[in-house]
Amino acid sequence: MRPLSDTFARITRLRTGKAKHLHSRNRLSTLTNVGSNPGALKAKYYLPTNLAKKPALVVVLHGCTQIPADYDVCSGWSKMADEYGFALLYPQQVRDNNGNLCFNWFLPGDIRREAGEALSIRQMIETMCSRHKVASERIYVTGLSAGGAMANVLLATYPEIFAGGAIIAGLPYATALSVSEAFDRMRGQGIPKPRELRAKVLSASGHSGPWPTLSVWHGTRDSTVAEVNAQAIVEQWRGVHGLGAAPTDTETIDGQTRKVWKDNDGRGLVTLYSVQGMGHGLPLDVASGYGKSGPYMLDVGISSTADIAHSWGLTRKPARGRRGESIANPSSEHSAVAGHSSSAQGKIRKVIEDALRSAGLMPK
């Protein structure tokens, strides 16, 4: 039961009004009039004062229980945009769609091309491109947890739009089509074989390439989304790119293992970062000058924001602070959940199921 309790113990606290927003100043503006918006999402965006004439655009997808303003402050994306002149788009989930503010990466109507939440985000991107002269060949997407899974949905359904993506603590595309299947996949159960994983992406759009590059980030002690999902995402996109099973390079970056799969021209197409000892969250190196610690925003000595931006050519070099330290999760909330006895786990299960029912995610 640890994956469910780890996820929903905090959700229950949020629903009772005990959550505190982390942003001291909301730097984001509201994006309006984005089209038909069939997924009924909201959106925020950020434009630095030194916006390039044809800027790159980074689409950032928050995780469950999060909002764009908090995610932006903790991840450091707008601070980096200030320095390098690119634009940011933050699609935002609403409680009418999902009581826990998770993007619906597991609902068939939201993960198909030209439908639901996927189409809403595509329309938001079109709006940003037309209003702010975004360079169409420099559009990228990243996300955490449910946001990471939805980033994968966008890469699969609209691969012609994106030059690259980064999935953090996420899941492979189209492997869950219901709430119960979503929880199974989060636990690492029932994940399809590599050939089927590849076929799901290839059938999502009819696209024949070129395909976006991808980096995958996952903590080795993630008890919310099992680490096996990271390897499944790699298998999914390695197959799409037609790459071999073994990584081309394995190296250590800020104390963490990075595996890279390259094409015949030596271009890195798929990259896997395994963050030792990290629980469920976004890897940060606050000493690098980007980001701030918070729930699911973890200062582990490597900045995913800086490394992702550099891999996309948005910055001159990745920011480095201190060497990473292996930690499970600095949040006392997670530690308290992990330390419960089996009898307490039964009580937690009831709380979780009550929260799910109140959110409309379980039958009453």
> pLDDT 10s digit of each residue in the chain, 364 long?
344 444 444 444 433 333 444 444 679 999 999 999 999 999 999 999 999 999 999 999 999 999 999 999 999 999 999 999 999 999 999 999 999 999 999 999 999 999 999 999 999 999 999 999 999 999 999 999 999 999 999 999 999 999 999 999 999 999 999 999 999 999 999 999 999 999 999 999 999 989 999 999 999 999 999 999 999 999 999 999 999 999 999 999 999 999 999 999 999 999 999 999 999 999 999 999 999 999 999 999 999 999 999 999 999 876 666 544 433 443 322 322 222 333 344 444 454 555 544 444 444 4
Which of 229, 261, 258, 232 minimizes the C-alpha distance to 245? 261
Q: Of all helices (H) and strands (E), which one includes residue 147?
A: helix 146-157
- Rounded CA separation 6/8 (Å): 6
- Read off φ and ψ for residue 308, nearest 5 degrees: -65, -50
Q: How many CB atoms lie within 10 A of CB 73?
A: 23
- Rounded CA separation 182/190 (Å): 10
pLDDT of residue 316: 85
- Rounded CA separation 218/274 (Å): 5
Out of 78, 145, 288, 331, the active site residue is 145
- Rounded CA separation 317/325 (Å): 22
pLDDT of residue 232: 98
Q: How many CB atoms lie within 10 A of CB 174?
A: 24
Give the count of alpha carbons within 13 A of 214, CB side only: 35
**Token pair 């609902």: residue:** 107
- Rounded CA separation 269/241 (Å): 8
What three-state secondary structure class fits 238?
A: helix
Question: Is 145 a residue of the active site?
Answer: yes
Condensed to tens digits (0 to 9), the pLDDT of residues 174-202 reads 999 999 999 999 999 999 999 999 999 99
- Rounded CA separation 188/69 (Å): 31
- Read off φ and ψ for residue 350, nearest 5 degrees: -65, -40
Q: Are 10 and 358 in contact (CB under 8 A)?
A: no
Q: What is the 3-state secondary structure (H, E, C) of 311-339?
A: HCCCCCCCCCCCCCCCCCCCCHHHHHHHC
Q: Are 123 and 36 in contact (CB under 8 A)?
A: yes
What three-state secondary structure class fits 43?
A: strand
Condensed to tens digits (0 to 9), the pLDDT of residues 285-296 reads 999 999 999 999
Superfamily of domain 24-326: Alpha/Beta hydrolase fold, catalytic domain (3.40.50.1820)
Burial class (CB in 10 A: 0-12, 13-18, 19+), 245: exposed
Give me the amino acid identity at 228: V
pLDDT of residue 6: 47
